[in-house]
Amino acid sequence: MVSVISRIIIPALMLIGNYDYTFPYETSVWPFYNFLAANDKELKINETDHYVPQNEMIKEVLAWCDK
């Protein structure tokens, strides 16, 4: 899996919940984010569980697309 992630070079936006027990930040999200080869990558952490609220997701995605 690491060999595949390290070849991703397209811009990447990751929206996660800080209290996600399915994919914990320290063991899943952070390593995945660090292995991304994209120069334009951003990690947004929300104070939620696994699901980021739809209104927050829309706001972040639109802001990401605008830049």
Q: Helix, strand or coil for residue 54?
A: helix
pTM of the full structure:
0.84
Per-residue pLDDT at 67: 86
- Count up the domains in the chain and report the number: 1
The Cα–Cα gap between 57 and 19 comes to 16
Its sign, for the CA torsion 35, 42, 48, 66, is negative
The pLDDT tens digits for 19-31 are 999 899 899 999 9
Domain limits for position 62: 2-66
Cα–Cα distance list, 48 to 11, 41, 56 (Å): 24, 21, 11
Rounded average pLDDT over 14-18: 93
Count of other CB atoms within 10 angstroms of residue 29: 18
